[in-house]
Amino acid sequence: MRMLIAQLSDLHVRPHGVKYQGVVDSNQMLGEAIEHLLQMDQRPDLVLVTGDLVDEGSPAEYEVAKALLASMRIPYLAIPGNHDHRENFRKAFADQSYLPGSGPLHYCVDDHEVRIIGLDSCVPGHHHGSIDVAGLQWLSDVLQSNTSKPTVVMLHHPPFFCGIPYMDEYRYVDPRPLEAVLKQAGNVEIVLCGHVHRSMLRRWANTVVCTCPSTVTEIDLQLRPTAQPSSHVGPRGCMLHLWDEHIGMVSHTSQIGAFAGPYAFA
């Protein structure tokens, strides 16, 4: 068995004709990211979208985001990020049967070779992340219901300090209870996150946490405690997670854009 999972994150879709932060056309950039996936030598079996689908959580933004994602012609699963609006998200994707009808948008999809668990780490009205006791109990029950099938867990906020001060200010707060729940399971292949607009890796909770680049901008890598918020337009990217029953999960960063080549050497 084999499965190719693509990951897109932090799309920050705006209403038609409005630029992200007044600088770039995030809608066009999402279209380019989708075309990037469609042109791959092996089309992904599933796309995971790890939050911040839109920038301000408005119905007009979700209308655009949903149309763009539909053009992908690949099944996708999405979770909200801190720029999303939980109820507007739920209404926009009401046709997605995996989303719960009320409360945080936690869900489990078990229709593929790899089980996908989506977690809603958003705290309405705030930018940091957290999951309440009820959500952690739900996760524990789902994980314990099948302790052998390879599982991917996704949430928007990475559950660790990344060292970039202006991102750590809006981190997942107190990840220890979540870590304790995940440690109970021995079949979590990887935890996938967004939020930081960069690719990062960390060993955690007896598995690996991987963050995804944004399709729009890259948050600058600044580690000085006094560093001020800063981003650049690019490099943009997505992640590809290849699961194989014999080798497990292998993750790749795939940059979006035109580059010189190909050349006849490896």
Kindly give the confidence (pLDDT) of every residue in the chain, 266 residues in length, as a single tens digit, with 9 standing for 90 and above.
899 999 999 999 999 999 999 999 999 999 999 999 999 999 999 999 999 999 999 999 999 999 999 999 999 999 999 999 999 999 999 999 999 999 999 999 999 999 999 999 999 999 999 999 999 999 999 999 999 999 999 999 999 999 999 999 999 999 999 999 999 999 999 999 999 999 999 999 999 999 999 999 999 999 999 999 999 997 899 999 999 999 999 999 999 998 899 999 98
pTM: 0.96
Return d(Cα 100, Cα 123) in angstroms, integer: 17
Return d(Cα 230, Cα 140) in angstroms, integer: 37
Q: Residue 7: which of 80, 77, 99, 93 has the closest Cα?
A: 77
Max intra-chain CA distance, the chain = 55
- Contact predicate 191/209, CB 8 Å: yes
